[in-house]
Homo-oligomer: A and B are copies of this chain.
Amino acid sequence: MLSNYPNIMEQMNKVEKILQSSIRSKQPLVNQATQELLASGGKRLRPLLMLVSSMLGEYIEERILPIAAAIEILHMATLVHDDIIDDAHLRRNSETVQSKWGKDVAVFTGDFLLCKAFLLISSYNDIANIKKLAKAMRVICEGEIQQYQHRYKTNLSVIGYLKRIAAKTAILFSISGYVGAYEAKCSKRIINACANFGMNMGMAFQITDDILDFTGKRTVLGKPINSDWAQGIYTLPIIYALKDKKYGDEMRKCLEEDMDLKEKASVINELVFRSGGIAYARKMAQKYINKAYDNLNILPPGPSREVMEDMIERLINREK
């Protein structure tokens, strides 16, 4: 993806090095958990977005790299805590922290990462950025709890779903674009375009993620499919199917029924397709992708915009 942009790739490698060094711990178990987490990969989309947004203005490596690393660490912290809640055993084809070492270690590994992220930003002397990231994290926590509260509810609205994924996922992308362009002293117009691009990309990213929970392949995804509804988290395809005149009642009945999980999965999968829930979710994702392209039109041509376009194209063809 970045092979045509050696400069950006070099900067991303530096982010990786900061990540590695800054989440080290003297406590061997914490260290093992965080280093494995790092090694298991991840697309590093948030730091990349921050970097390319920052390259639209006055790019100051020493300032932007630690914040880019910090945002990835915050993201990692939410993943570790998410997995506790989801009781997840696999992520990125690796065993999760909570599955390998128990919820105990997972709780404090997540906390450790949160603290490290704030520590990293505060080492580079910028209170405004700490505030922004702390606020974003607060919204994420509230979004997660909102999602939990809405589990097993069959009367969810599309708007409620969109708000929830904005809080849970898109905000961190939006902050990445915003901080990058803001730190580079870009114009308000450019800063807003980057922030909005992040928001729209984040929305499309999460909707696609939710579609893949029905259509994805377990081995490619690196985590089990159908893991959302089995835990009572009803995403866009199901919310749409529940509102469908023809299939709504059937979907509700099936979700509420206590039946064999495999059988249930096959009925639900059929219903989300037949009702048009998957098609609707795809259309919604496309809507956000179009908006993201609109945001890009505001940016000047060049490597940053090209990489951002590439991020979107990969999102469309996303299999994991």
* A contacts, CB < 8 Å to B: 25-27, 29-30, 77, 81, 84-85, 102-105, 107-112, 114-116, 118-119, 122-123, 125-127, 130-131, 134-135, 137-138, 141-142, 144-146, 148-149
Select one of B25, B130, B142 contacting A122, CB under 8 A.
B130
Report the bound CA distance from A306 to B84 in whole Å. Answer: 46
Tell me the smallest distance from the CB of A151 to a CB of chain B, in Å: 9
CB neighbours (8 Å) of A111 from chain B are: 77, 81, 110-111, 114, 137, 141
Contact yes or no, B30 A108, CB < 8 A: no
Interface of A, secondary structure class, is helix
A118:B103 contact, CB within 8 angstroms = no
Q: Is the CB of B141 within 8 A of A112?
A: yes
Q: Assembly of this chain: how many copies?
A: 2
Cβ of A165 to closest chain B Cβ, rounded Å: 15
> Is there an interface contact between B142 and A30, defined as CB atoms closer than 8 Å?
yes
Query: Which residues from B are CB-within-8-Å of A104?
Result: 85, 144-145, 148
Known pairs A85-B107, A107-B110, A119-B134 / 8 extra A-B pairs, C-beta < 8 Å: A27-B145, A29-B149, A30-B142, A85-B104, A102-B148, A108-B141, A112-B138, A122-B134
Nearest to A81 among chain B residues (CB) is B107
Could you say which of A77, A109, A116, A138 has the most chain B C-beta atoms within 10 Å of its C-beta?
Answer: A138
A137 and B123 in contact, given A84-B107, A105-B148, A148-B105 (Cβ under 8 angstroms): no
Q: Is the CB of A145 within 8 A of B115?
A: no
A115 vs B171: C-alpha distance when bound (angstroms) = 15
- List the B side residues contacting A27 at CB < 8 Å: 142, 145-146
